[in-house]
Amino acid sequence: MMSGFWHRNSGSLQLQLLGATLVFVSAVWLVLSVVAWHEAKSEAEELFDAHLAQTAALLVVLSSEESSDLPEELPSHRYARKVAFQIWSDKGKLLARSTTAPREPLTDQTKGFSDRRIDGRNWRIYSKVDERHHHRILVAESYEARNAVGKELAKHLLTPLIIALPTLAFGLVLLMRQRFKPLQRLASSISQRSPDRLDPIASTDVPNEIRPIIEQTNRLLQRVSDSMAQERRFTADAAHEIRTPLAVIRTYAQVAAAATEATERTRALNSVVQASDRATHLLAQLLTMARLDNDALTRHFVNCDLRKIAVDVIAEITPQALEKKVEVMLDEGRAAYLRGEPALLAVLLRNLIDNAVRYSPAETFVAVTIKHVDGHIRLTVSDQGPGIPEHERERVLSRFTRLGGSDAPGSGLGLSIALRIAQLHGATLVLQDGPGEYGLSVCASFREVAG
């Protein structure tokens, strides 16, 4: 309940620390004070009882003298109202008493301690018998005296707490203000930063407890900086790439508008359609790439059969491949289950097979193989095209990268999209020579799961 109180009513860490410290110190101090008070009171009770016994012993010595010399009432002192005694003969005669003691016996008990209420006051009484003269000694002490000592003990125990708590609070406030200054300077430094300033925050003048927060914040700033730089490059490259098909469309549209012959007009309009298709394909690739920059896609992974996905993608691409006289073949084999997003895996397969078909000469084939190797599923797409030189293979995996000397249409995004999808699935993507060191093979390796 106390923790909920601080959580609901105080937004300041300094106030929470101050309040929690004072409450904890007060609770500990009070518990220790109560324990110490009970212990001290118990010791005082034993001390008082010992004092009564000792007083009774002294009175025994005194009564051992000639009893006729004992005055009936002995002189009183400042504690007379709290201490009383009587000396009785064995015949029941009161030989002596204090001024506060009544004339009737304080107690009927002949030996040891007893308690009795006399005239509205509680007394602690000790009885002792003088075996030699058969005198009975009664010594009594008011509980008021004992309680007064207990009150004094409690006062002395609580007074330091009453004085120390404000002093402790004042000292803690000064100490926390001093120690929280680095955090205030840090907050001021962060508040003065411009939105585009993403350099790391200095952590040299902060407590060790805050340093992990700053380190994680710096890592976040670095990721944000990298993401923003990537977005700027992507936007610039996309703007450059989309400008080309739009310019082509505009040019052929002007040609069609100015054409005087139907054949020329038809040829220009067909070029407009082809340029529009390329622009549509480029925009689709750009939208796919933008979607892949969201790591939240991994939350929707399910167990899926990569072989079934490959069959569907090949059926979709077959008309395009047949138009170019390229055959797409899938090897035989059992189902290949992995954990992923079926739609993204279809995009990966479509891009790899589409690239292979685009760069393959007529009367050739594209081979798609899916194998089970050491707990992994290895997907390979091989073509018989010109291939990619080894020193260029890493570069072509970046966005908007196309090799020179090729007239195959494309946006330069297919392999980079395939790489990103593979990374989201925890897979690797490797470019290597095709079978017989001819053409290109793209291999992706996924972790296999039970179907």
Q: With contact defined as beta carbons under 8 Å apart, do 119 and 102 qualify?
A: yes
DSSP label at residue 261: S
For the four alpha carbons of 346, 348, 349 and 354, in that order, the dihedral sign comes to: positive
Looking at every residue in the chain, the average pLDDT score rounds to: 77
CA dist 450 and 235 (Å) reads 41
- Given pLDDT bands bounded at 50, 70 and 90, which one contains residue 380? very high
DSSP label at residue 391: G
Q: Name the E strands within 299-361.
A: 302-305, 326-330, 337-340
What's the rounded mean pLDDT across residues 194-221? 79
Cα angle 419, 289, 223; round to 5: 80
- Given pLDDT bands bounded at 50, 70 and 90, which one contains residue 240? low
Query: Does the pLDDT of residue 5 top 50, yes or no?
Result: no
Query: Which pLDDT score, from 0 to 100, does residue 293 have?
Result: 59
pTM: 0.47
Q: With contact defined as beta carbons under 8 Å apart, do 358 and 321 qualify?
A: no
Percent helix, strand, coil in the chain (nearest 5)?
55, 20, 25
Query: Does the pLDDT of residue 320 top 80, yes or no?
Result: yes
Write down all domains in the chain, each with its CATH number in brackets: 15-166 (3.30.450), 211-289 (1.10.287), 297-447 (3.30.565.10)
Query: Does the pLDDT of residue 451 top 70, yes or no?
Result: no
CA dist 220 and 206 (Å) reads 19
**Burial class (CB within 10 angstroms; exposed 0-12, middle 13-18, buried 19+) of 161:** middle
What's the rounded mean pLDDT across residues 326-351? 88
173, 314, 328 from 360: Cα distances, Å: 77, 15, 11
Secondary structure (DSSP) of 30-75: HHHHHHHHHHHHHHHHHHHHHHHHHHHHHHHHHHTS-GGGS-SBPP
pLDDT digits (tens, 9 = 90+) for 165-197: 788 878 888 887 777 777 777 778 777 778 777
Query: Which pLDDT score, from 0 to 100, does residue 78 have?
Result: 44
- Given pLDDT bands bounded at 50, 70 and 90, which one contains residue 67? very low
CA dist 35 and 331 (Å) reads 85
CA dist 40 and 62 (Å) reads 32
pLDDT digits (tens, 9 = 90+) for 400-420: 555 544 555 555 677 887 888
Query: Does the pLDDT of residue 72 top 60, yes or no?
Result: no
Q: Which of 95, 106, 162, 103 is nearest to 139 (CA)?
A: 106
Q: Which two tokens stand for residue 289?
A: 């790439």
304 strand-pairing partners: 338
Cα angle 195, 201, 14; round to 5: 100
Query: Does the pLDDT of residue 57 top 70, yes or no?
Result: no
Q: Give the β-pairing of 326-330 and 364-373.
A: parallel
pLDDT digits (tens, 9 = 90+) for 31-53: 877 777 777 777 667 666 766 66
Q: Which of 434, 437, 425 is nearest to 445 (CA)?
A: 425
CA dist 272 and 411 (Å) reads 17
- Is pLDDT larger for residue 309 or for residue 100? 309
Most confident of 57-71, 269-283, 336-350: 336-350
- CA-only gyration radius of the chain, Å: 50
- Is pLDDT larger for residue 240 or for residue 143? 143
Residues across the chain: 451
pLDDT digits (tens, 9 = 90+) for 82-129: 677 777 877 788 887 777 777 788 887 778 888 888 777 788 888 888
16, 106, 183, 205, 213 from 209: Cα distances, Å: 17, 70, 11, 12, 8
Residues in CB range of 338: below 8 A, 6 or more apart = 303, 304, 306, 377, 425, 446, 447, 448, 449
Q: Which two tokens stand for residue 286?
A: 């750009």
Query: Which pLDDT score, from 0 to 100, does residue 23 have?
Result: 83
Q: Which two tokens stand for residue 314?
A: 């090949």
Burial code (b: 16+ CB inside 10 Å, e: under 16) for 79-99 equals eeebbbbbbbeeeeeebbbbe
